[in-house]
Amino acid sequence: MDLFDDIPERALHWHREGQGAALATVVQTWGSAPRRTGSQLAISGGGEIAGSVSGGCVEGAVVMEALEALEDGKPRLLEYGVSDGDAFAVGLACGGTIRILVEPVGAALPEAMLADLVEARKARRAVAYRVNPDIGARSLAFEGHEDRFRMDRSGFEEDGATFVTIHNPPLRLILIGAVHIAQALVPMARIAGYDPVLIDPRESFGSSARFPGETILNDWPDEGVRAFGLDGRTALVLLTHDPKLDDPALIEALRSDVFYIGALGSTRTHAKRRERMIGAGFTDADLARIHGPIGLDIGAASPAEIAVSIIAEMTQVLRKGA
């Protein structure tokens, strides 16, 4: 399995195999909850699990509830906290409280709706699953939750009754320039949940010997980014210092809705970059999207430290906005 979770896919597979399946979703948290709202766990009728709703604290209890839900076809709204019996066996030793919605597939959660959700995820189309646990109303939405999609944030709507689970495409990172910083940034990006691709026409830089097992395109950068695709779940990082390589990819990115654009170089280098982009017809508002010099100012010096600052800035923009 890759870094993109396949929890809904596993649930649909188990259901269609005839095992039965349920989806458990964290719908509310208080205090030091171990998993964020929207985290999911798939449970098969045979007791297999995929994903997590608490990092191991309450999974056993949720599995038992899910198996009972598969028996009677009814959803469950569960709540666990530090006071629920033995905190180390069932409750949350961290002191938080979580509320979890368990939905048996094919009964509470229609198979066709789950299949449509899985198909949207496969097509890299952002989709929101809406459910009112009190009355059982369910639907999929592709629009109307722009802020939630951008922030990747599931949660209850203002009515306090409708819960929205956000299913965004997996994060991707395009790096222009297979340089020494990229060698540190690529493994960090994978740990952070990104699927990275390196684009560098210089085969001596973009080689499997320098980046074993990674996706490398030895194309001209504008051709490479067009081939790979640019969307709102993609970050672009420019690392070559060379306008001949960076600028073609930067122009493509500024014409797209990538969520992050970062460019390596000094303040003077970035000023010259801005001049070139203005000459190419871009506005000040367009150029404000470029983070240059790249990364949060943490005093980074080594390639690894610069990579940390880049990942930190990408995360800040993803979670808090530009």
Residue 54: the pLDDT is 82
37 with 29: CB under 8 angstroms?
A: yes
Q: What's residue 96's pLDDT?
A: 72
Q: Which DSSP string corresponds to 12-48?
A: HHHHHHTS-EEEEEEEEEESS-SS-TT-EEEEETTS-
Distance CA 94, CA 90 (A): 12
Give the pLDDT mean for 264-269.
94
CB 155 within 8 A of CB 37: yes
pLDDT tier for residue 151 given thresholds of 50, 70 and 90: confident
Strand partners, 24: 41, 102
| C-alpha–C-alpha distance, residues 219 and 206, integer Å | 10
pLDDT at 3 (0 to 100):
42
Q: What is the pLDDT of residue 58?
A: 87
Q: What is the mean pLDDT of residues 219-244?
A: 93
Measured distance CA(96)–CA(302) in Å, rounded: 39
For residue 95, the model assigns a pLDDT of 58
Indicate whether 221 pLDDT > 60: yes
The answer to whether 173 and 194 have CB atoms below 8 angstroms apart is yes
pLDDT higher than threshold 90 for residue 251: yes
Q: What percent of the chain has pLDDT over 90?
A: 79
Give the model's pLDDT for residue 2. Answer: 39
**C-alpha of 170 from chain center:** 5
Query: d(Cα 322, Cα 309) in Å, to the nearest integer?
Result: 15
Indicate the range of 123-127, 185-189, 283-287 predicted with least confidence: 123-127
Give residue-wise pLDDT tens across range 155-211. Answer: 999 999 999 999 998 899 999 999 999 999 999 999 998 999 999 999 999 999 999
User: 171-320, what's its fold?
Assistant: Rossmann fold (3.40.50)
Q: Is residue 143 over pLDDT 60?
A: yes
Q: Cβ neighbours of residue 78 under 8 Å, at least 6 residues apart?
A: 61, 62, 65, 99, 100, 101, 102
Cα of 283 vs its chain's centroid, Å: 30
Position 82 scores a pLDDT of: 52
Is residue 243 within 8 A of residue 279, CB to CB? The reply is no
Residue 83 CB neighbour total at 10 angstroms: 10
231, burial (CB in 10 Å: exposed 0-12, middle 13-18, buried 19+):
middle
Q: 154 and 127 in contact (C-beta within 8 Å)?
A: no
* CA pair distance 278, 287, nearest whole angstrom: 8
Residue of 318 and 305 predicted with greater confidence: 305
The answer to whether 42 and 20 are in contact (CB under 8 A) is: no
Task: Indicate if the pLDDT at residue 64 is higher than 70.
Answer: yes
CA–CA dist 225, 244 (Å, integer)? 15
On the question of pLDDT at 50 being above 90, the answer is yes
- Cα–Cα nearest to 245, from 174, 293, 165: 174
Q: pLDDT (tens digit, 9 = 90+) per residue, 19-47?
A: 999 999 999 988 766 678 999 999 999 99
The predicted structure's pLDDT at residue 120: 95
Cα 186 to Cα 310: distance, rounded to the nearest angstrom: 11
Please tell me the distance from the alpha carbon of residue 41 to that of residue 23, in angstroms, as a whole number.
6
Kindly report, residue by residue over 73-93, the tens digit of the pLDDT: 999 999 987 554 444 444 455
Q: Give the DSSP letter of residue 256.
A: T
For the chain, the domains span: 7-167, 171-320
What's the rounded Cα separation, in Å, for the pair 194 and 43?
26
Handedness of CA 119, 121, 122, 124 (dihedral sign): positive
Alpha-carbon distance 109 to 30, whole Å? 26
How far is the C-alpha of 321 from the C-alpha of 318, rounded, in Å? 6
Q: Which pLDDT value is given to residue 100?
A: 95
103-121 pLDDT per residue, tens: 999 999 999 999 999 999 9
